[in-house]
Every structure is written in structure tokens, then in C-alpha cells.
Structure 1
Amino acid sequence: MGKRVRETERKYDGGGEAATVRADFAGLTAGSRALDAVRLEAVYYDTAGLALAAHKVTLRRRTGGDDAGWHLKLPAAQADTRTEVQAPLTPAADGPPQELLDDVAALVRGRALQPVVRLTTSRRRVLLLDADGATLAEVAYDRVKSQVLPEGPASEWTEVEVELGEAAAGDPALLDAAEERLLAAGLQRSASASKLAHALGGMLVAPPAGPPAVPGSAGGTATGYLHDQLAAILALDPAVRRDEEDAVHQMRVATRRARSALKSFRKELDREVTDPLGAELKWLAAVLGAERDREVLAERLAALLDELAGEPGADAAAVTDAVRDRVQALAARTSTESRETLLRALGSARYFALLDALEALIAAPPYRRGARKPGAEAARATVGRDMARLRRRIEEALALEPGEEKDVALHEARKSAKRARYSGEAVRPVLGAPAKAHTSRMKKLQQLLGEHQDSVLSREALTGAAAGARAAGEDPAPYDALIRAEQQRAADVEAALPEAWERADQEL
């Protein structure tokens, strides 16, 4: 896996003088040291439509200097900061390393990458040092020549970069102080986020953010929330591919939020467009869910075993290594298969088409007449519809006796609670604190109902394990004890639900 570092830097444009101007940094730090000049050659890769650059992502192969190699730079939430992924230098003919391609797969979407810009940079550097000689910041004076490939426009410019060193620990105060000196020397903050953006100039088109909606309108609320979920999916995609902790869960949540919004905002968005998209989001959530459900089941079963083993009596003594192995295998046996299925889905044309469709919807929303309504009025109506649906589901479930039918009804109520929660999130920009309080109530109710559903799924898995133990001539007692524990958990939820619902069922 490529080395990942965070870089915090600012760029300054001084016209033709930036390469020769020397800002006065005396007294800013304990000392400074000038380095030998270097010549850097970089070729930037992107799709024909510049999908990476449009999302402020750069992928380059650079030679020269002390960090030659492949560099992928990704936006970060912190101002003036990006994440850089570094990979060793390999022949250009081999193309970018796969480890970097995985990080941009959701943006590239199967399209070919090609060289789009060549940059030649003559660089002089000055290190700003602390009292121990550690680098606080690096000031780079660059003269840049660019060529858009294969036969596009060429340009030249000069700029100054100030990048924090590790010793500065990301403290922006030093950047502010250095900026004062640079501005005093006649430079100004660069209008381009990167050298690539400068080279491309007017060729660069931002990703779709949608046409301007009526200020404060219902349509703007709907598409704004959908835009946030698409951004989350794109940001989480690389982490899911790297199998980072909680990434699958978070991406699944973003997918479900988007699908829920398409349902909740049916008065604002044309269902002929959104229903097929919702079906594809359901597919993606199911693929992500297989991996996530395995993780949840494994954690739950491990906790149950530990509880049973800690209790006095025959059941505790029955928790042998063989029992642990059989129970843990319930989740582990599907791990490899679900992971492979997930990675295939994330590399499929179907997934890429779904991302394209989401972007197209945001760029040209299929607004209905209701989209022009005032946002606050429509928001209350949207949440009200979702609450009415949840109320029916809860009342139906509470009227049933414990058993399989009640389990199914409570699962449906849980899905409705989740939808009511997500619609509360979506309308928070227009309703503020009341929507926040509503979302909190729905989250608590959803978690309670989720505990019940987890017990149902756990019991189903344990029932299969008990049957396997009996068929193998093993003692089924520990599995039966685990099932009883899950039955009690479900009963506790059912007993607590009426009071929990009374607290949750409030007007927005």
C-alpha cells in the first residue's frame, strides 16, 4: 500500500517576479537553510473528461528531486490540506500503480486514464527551521512550464509554495505569519488550487452541483441532501476497498440515506426518475450489507459466548473450544465470499452507472411542482408523512403477540424509523433545532428496534448451529442457552417499546 501523508500548504502568484522575489523571513523562525536548485518533470494523468481534476484530485508521475515517484493528491476537510499517497517510481509505460487506481476508481469509473499535462518545474527551496534544526516549513520558489497533452496550449508562470513540515505539527499560525511576509513582498494567493488546475485553466469544469434552486425551497433541500450523500459515497469508496474499519458501515449508511431521501421527497422529485435509481441504491446497500451484517453477527456472537462463559453453572462449562469454533464459523465462513462479492460490485459497470445517475440527477434535478414550495413548509410535511407511516407500523407491531409475525412487523417499523430519522437530517438546514431533536428521538427508537432485529438474526444463525451440533452428535445445550439469551433480549425490547415510542412520537 502506498505511503499516505498529509500536506498543508499555500500557493502564491507573483506574476513573472515570483521566481526571483525573496521574501524576508528573518526572525520568523529560529533559522533557515537554502537547498540546491532542482528540476522536476511531472506528467499528470486523468480521463479524457478530466474527472479527477474536476474533483480536485491529481495523479502524477514525477522525476527529479528527492521524492520521485507516483503521487496521488486527494482533498481533505482541513483548509489548505490534502492527503498525498506516494508510490515508488515505475516505468511510464506500465501506467499508474493499481494501489493508486483503487483510490480513484469511483471517479474514473472504468474510463481510460491518459497523460493530460506535462509540467517542468525549476525549483529553489528554503527550509525554515526550529532551534533544534527540524524543518517547520519549506518555501519553494517555482518557475513552471506546462504543456497540455497531446497538442494543447502551453504556458509559463511562477509561484511560491509554503508547506508545513512535520515539526510544525500542522499549525496554521506559521502559514499565516509566512503569508504576511509574502504579501509584503508583492505576492498574492494563487487562484488555482494546484499546478494542474493552473495549466488546464478554462478547460477544467467543476463536478455537477445542480442548477440553482429557489432559495430556501423544498427542491433545494432535497438535492442538497442527495449531494451530501453522493459526496460521502465517493469519499468512502477508497476506504472500503482498503478494508478500513467502519468504512463499509458508513458507506452503507450514505447509500441508505440517499435511497430514503428519494422516497421521502417524492413530492419534490419525479418518481419516474427516482424509483429506478432507488432500486439501484437498494442493490448497493444490500451488497455492502452482506459484509457489514457479517461483522455485526461476529461481534454479537463473540459477546454472547463471553457472557455465557462468565456465568456459573453447567451452561458456562459447556462453552468449549469446539463450541466457540462452531459459533464463530457462522460469521467467518462468509467473510471471504462477501468481501469478494463487494469488491466485484465496486468494480462493476452497474456501480459506475449508479454514480453517473446520481450525478446526473443532481446536475439536472427532475423537480416536480412541489419543489418550489418554501423549504420549511415542505420539510414539516415530509417529516409528517414519514412519521405517519412509522406510527402505523409501530401500532401494528404492538398489537401482535410475541412470535415470528411480530418480529417481521418490528423489522418493518425499524425501517420506517430509519426513514423518519433520515428525513429529519435532510430538513435540518431549514428547520434547525426542532429537526435535530426529532432526528435524535428517531435514532434512539431505531437503535432499540435494531437491537431486536439483531437478536432475530442471531437466533436464526444459532438455530442452524444447534442443528449442526445435533447432527454431529455434539451436545446442543450451549447453543440452546445462547438462543434463550437472545430470546430474552428480544423480550426486553418488546417490553420497553411502548414507553420508548411514547417519548419518540412528538410533533416536529
Structure 2
Amino acid sequence: MNPRAEIIEVECKFDVDAGLPAPDLSVLVPGGRAGEPQQYELVATYLDTPAHDLAAHRITLRRRTGGTDSGWHLKRPAGGDARRELQVDFSEAPADGPVPAAIASAVLAIVRDRPLIPVAEISTARTVTVVYDEDGDSLAEFCEDRVLSHAHQSQVTKEWAEWEFELTGGDTRLLKKARSLLRGAGARPASSVSKLARAIGSEPRNHKPAKLAKHPTGLDLVVHSLATHRDSLLHWDPLVRENAWDAVHQMRVTARKLRSVLTSFPTVLDAESVAGLSEELRALGEVLGEARDREVQLEINAGLLDSENDPPADLRVALIDDELVRQQRSLRSLRYALSTRRYLQLLDTLDALIANPAPGPDADRGAEKVAMAGIEHAAKRMHKAEKKLDDFDEWSEEWVEQVHRIRKRAKAVRYTADAGKPLGLKKAAKAAAEAAGVQTHLGDFNDTVVNRENLQKVVAVPGLSARAVFVLGRLDAREEERGRRAVQAFLDERP
């Protein structure tokens, strides 16, 4: 195993009677074969918080010896049958040492300041059979496991047998065929989502917000929306830390949606109970925004240079290399912010609010009425801003500022309407669609405004060649034209 590696694990699990003979796996691949079985003794210590917070999110953390991948393993859901597994070798983080920094960072938003303690010891006698294709390439591994577990808190010892079929190079069609073959041989659907769940004697509690009742109240709707976005925040947190594609953008949007729920429905929750939370979410959005803006700027700069025939080297340095340095700096600041007590306290506050919401004066009002009131109010503010645009001369400073105000209010409509999605309100969907069009056009315009400001700063870079300055002027003109087209598209769609 590499000192540190992350893989996508796709597998299916089954309960079986001890000693149940495995079927002939070679039938899964025409022309393929099954390798000679290999036996291993695996010993793993599973860690979690005393309240099993990781298990609640279907996350498992273990340190394991034996087999071909001794080390620290963190497994997280990746959709469907897939799991993301982060592996850290003992050569980088010894088994008797603390949890590796890469793993601790990945689960910090869930664990926070709670201790990670051993919750179970699991020993596995494993027999592994590799399934090969006709060219001798590995497609899957079939594991026959005899498992012995001991749960620390309950002091309960259990023993069972199970089968696992994990893809190594095959596709989901092979997984489907294997599931049918193994079920036909006597295997049963797994009774637990993991060895740990079976060892500790209970399935992880459902962390996802429950579906809304048939006739929800405004409080039900707001709490459901907060819980949904809180879970989204926890999902994107580790991906932001590793700078996964689009993660910063999605976490920033999530922070804005959380704040929008509080500001769009101010009378559903007790005002005193949420005092300060909106400001903390705004601060989180700002630090995410700095990293996101750098990300967008880099993409725009790359696109502009790609449109040029042989752009000068010093301009590429100024627009790409220097911007990349600034982006990396903003990402370091963001990772630091996500590791502070202030951020973790924000998550604690959200959890407490969702678990024990203090009702406001409109808490018992019907959810549909609450949602539509918020959406209509936001839409009215957007339309009012659109009408006021006619009070200013086109492309004057005041007119441009009003265009930006319209964009922000369109965003508020979208986020407010998002909270009403579970209710299936047609008027809400219509308002969201209208606001989305406005936001798209004016968002493009805002990008050009920001980018032109950046181009003006680049012009002032000492020692820039005359040709680079000339190209910058051409890029600025191109961005100005793109911005005007975006605004015109907005104006053409005004009612």
C-alpha cells in the first residue's frame, strides 16, 4: 500500500452460514478464471466517539494489521454500493500513535472536540479469491470471512460468517451477476451495513432528516431545511479540505442557503435562540467566497488566454501562475478556518437548534403558507429592485449598482424557494425558475466586472511587456462586451 492513498470501493456483502461452500466464480466471466484462494488473518481496532457519531454517518475508522493493506482505514459513503476509502500506512502513522492528520481532518466536522476511542475489536479469518478476465487482469475479489468481534461498551462478543464481493477492475454488470450467483448459492442480504454495526449491536441511527409529515407546520419545514443543509455542509467539508472539484462552490452555496432559511422565515424560530447564528454563517460564507472567487478567476483567466493566439509568457505568469499562488493561499486560510473552534461551535449551534428548536410566533402556521409568504416577499423585493432600475440612466454608476442589487435579490428568491421544494409548490418552482434566469445573466455580468478589475491590477504589474499590456486591453474589451451581452439578455427577458 502507498503511504497514503484513497480508493473508491464498490462491493456487495452477504450473510452466510459458516462453512457454506462458495460457487464457481469463473462462470461470472466468459473465458476468465478464478485464482487460487489466499488466506489472511486480519485484526482491526475500530474507533469512534462514545456516542458513535461516525457510525451515525455510515463512516468507519479502523487500524488493521494483516492482509495486504495494513494501516489506518477511513471508509465513507460515495453513493450506491460505493465507498471512499482513505488509507494511511503505518510507516506514515504508527499503529500506537494518534489518528493520522489526514484522517482526523476528514472527520473533524463530525467528531469536533469529542474523543475518538476504541469501540470494538474485530478479528477476521479471510479467504480471498481473485476473479480474472481472459487477459489475466483482476476484475474482482471474493472474500469468505469468519468474524469474531468484541464490543467495548457492551462487552458483548459475537461470531458470524459473511461474504464480500468487491470490484477491482470490473463494472457494475459484474457486480449484478455476482449478487445473483451468490444469492443462488445460499447467501443472504447482509443484516448490517458493516462489521462494526454488527459488532456494537445496533445499526447506525438515521442521520438524514425525516420526510415531512403530510400537513407540516412552518417549524417542521424550517427545521427540515436546516437539517438538510447542515448535512450538506458536513458532506462538503472534507471535500473542501482536499480541494475536490466544485466542493468550495457547493459548500459556499450551502452556507448561504442556511443563512437564507433564518432570514427568510424570521418569525418561525424564536429570534433570541438564533441570534448571532446568521452572522456566523455570513462569516463562513465570506471565507469560502474568497477561495471560490480565486477559483473562478483562475478559470476565467485560463479561458481568456486560451482564446488568444500565442499570448506572451509574462502575461501567462501574471494571469495564471500568480493567480494560482493567491488561490493556494486562500485555500490554506480556508482550511485553517474550518479547523477553528469558531467553526466547530457553529456546527454545534446548528445541531442544537435542529434538535431543540425554540418556536417563534409563526411556528404552528401551516408550512405552505409560511413558505409562500417568504417566497412572495423575496420575489416582491426583486421586482421592486427591477422597477427601480428605470430610475437611472443606463450604464451609469447608480444603474450598474442597481443591477448588482437585483442579482442579490434574485439569489434570495432562489434560496427561499429552495426551502419550499419538499412541499411541491408550483408557485415556488415558478418563482425559483424566474429568479434563476435573472441570477444567471447578472451573475455572468458580475464575473466580468470582477475580472475587469483584476485585469486593471495586472496592468500595473512592474516590468510587464508592451505586448502583454496590449493583449490585456483586448481582453478587457472582450470582457466588457461579454458583460453587456449578459445584461442585455436580462433586459430582454424582463416582463
Whether the TM-score (by the shorter chain) exceeds 0.5 is yes
Please report how far the alpha carbon of residue 159 of structure 1 lies from its aligned counterpart in structure 2 after TM superposition: 2.6
% identical equivalent positions = 31
Q: For 1:62-73, what aligned pairs fall within 5 Å after superposition? A: 62-73=64-75
CA 1:181–1:405: 2 relative to 1, 3 Å: same
1:224-373 alignment, distance < 5 Å: 224-304=224-304, 309=308, 320-328=312-320, 331-332=323-324, 334-373=326-365
Local SS of the residue matching 1:257: helix
In the superposition, relative to structure 1, how do residues 498 and 165 fare at CA in structure 2: closer, same or farther (>3 Å)?
closer
Matches within 5 A, 1:386-405: 386-401=378-393, 402-405=395-398
Please give the residue correspondences for 1:176-195 in structure 2 after superposition, counting only pairs within 5 Å.
176-182=179-185, 185=186, 188-195=188-195
Counterpart secondary structure, 1:252: helix
What amino acid maps onto 1:347 in structure 2? S
Which one of 432, 438, 450 corresponds to residue 439 of structure 1? Answer: 432
Distance 1:181 1:501 in 2: 62
* SS of residue paired to 2:172: coil
Residue 416 (1) aligns with residue 385 (2): no
Name the SS of the counterpart of 1:449 in structure 2: helix
Deviations 1:464-504 (A, max 9, x none): 344556999999665555444444444444444333232xx
Cα shift at 1:77: 1.4
Corresponding residue of 1:313: none
Distance 2:363 2:44 in 1: 47
Distance 1:44 1:208 in 2: 23
Query: Cα deviation per residue 1:41-60 (whole Å; 9 max; x = unaligned)?
Result: 00112223322122111111
Q: Distance in 1 between matches of 2:410 and 2:264?
A: 12
| Aligned mate of 2:368, from 367, 372, 376 | 376
- Range that drifts further, 361-370 or 25-34: 25-34
Report the Cα distance in structure 2 between the residues aligned to 1:479 and 1:211, rounded to whole angstroms: 53
Contact 2:43-2:123 at 8 Å conserved across structures: yes
Matched residue, 2:79: 77
Instruction: Give 1:134 deviation, angstroms.
Output: 5.4
Q: Match of 1:164?
A: 166
- Residue 13 of structure 1 corresponds to 15
RMSD between superposed Cα atoms in Å: 3.4
For 1:35-74, what aligned pairs fall within 5 Å after superposition? 35-74=37-76
Match of 1:243, SS state, is coil
Q: How far apart, in 2, do the equivalents of 1:324 and 1:29 lie? A: 53
The aligned counterpart of 1:87 is: 88
Using the TM superposition, give the Cα deviation of residue 290 of structure 1 relative to its aligned residue in structure 2, in angstroms.
0.7
What is the CA deviation profile of residues 322-371 of structure 1, one whole-angstrom value per residue up to 9, with x for unaligned ones?
45544557734533431221111011111111122222222223343534
User: How far did residue 302 of structure 1 move?
Assistant: 4.3
Between 470-479 and 419-428, report the one with greater CA deviation: 470-479
CA positional deviation for 1:191: 2.7
What amino acid is the match of 2:119?
A: V
- 1:110-121 to structure 2, matched below 5 A, reads 110-121=113-124
Counterpart amino acid of 2:387?
A: E
Aligned partner of 1:351: which letter? Y
CA distance in 2, matches of 1:67, 1:350: 37
Unaligned segments of structure 1, at least 5 residues: 311-315, 503-508
Select which of 450, 457, 468 maps to 2:450: 457
Partner secondary structure for residue 123 of structure 1: strand
Note the alpha carbon deviations across 1:435-488, whole angstroms, 9 max, x for none. Answer: 444433322210111122222222333333445569999996655554444444
Say if 2:156 is the partner of 1:154: yes
Query: Following the alignment from structure 1 to structure 2, what is the Cα–Cα distance between the partners of residues 228 and 63?
Result: 38
Confirm or deny: 8 A CA contact 2:256 2:282 kept in the other structure.
yes
Structure number with the higher helix fraction is 1
Say if 1:164 and 1:175, in contact at 8 Å, map to a contact too.
Answer: no
After alignment, is 2-11 or 248-257 more displaced? Answer: 2-11
Q: Contact (CA 8 Å) 1:32, 1:129: kept in 2 or not?
A: yes
- Call closer, same or farther: CA 1:473–1:304 in 2, change over 3 Å: closer
Residue pairs, 1:104-143, within 5 angstroms: 104-127=107-130, 137-143=140-146
Q: 1:469 to 1:398 in 2, by over 3 A?
A: farther
Contact 1:162 1:175 in 2 (8 A): no
Question: What one-letter code is carried by the residue in structure 2 that aligns with 1:359?
Answer: D
Q: Is the 8 A contact 2:192 2:203 kept in 1?
A: no
Output the CA distance in 1 between the equivalents of 2:191 and 2:61.
20
| 1:404 Cα deviation after fit | 2.9
The answer for the alignment partner of 2:492 in structure 1 is 499
Pick closer, same or farther for the CA change 1:458–1:148 going to 2, 3 Å. Answer: same
The DSSP-based 3-state class of the residue aligned with 1:92 is coil
Report the residue type matching 2:86 in the other structure.
V
Say which SS state the counterpart of residue 399 (structure 2) adopts. helix
Q: Which residue matches 1:505?
A: none
- Which amino acid counterpart does residue 87 of structure 1 have in structure 2? V
- Normalised by the size of structure 1, how large is the TM-score? 0.84
Tell me how far 1:197 sits from its aligned partner: 1.2
2:105 to 102, 117, 132: 102
CA distance in 1, matches of 2:103, 2:63: 11
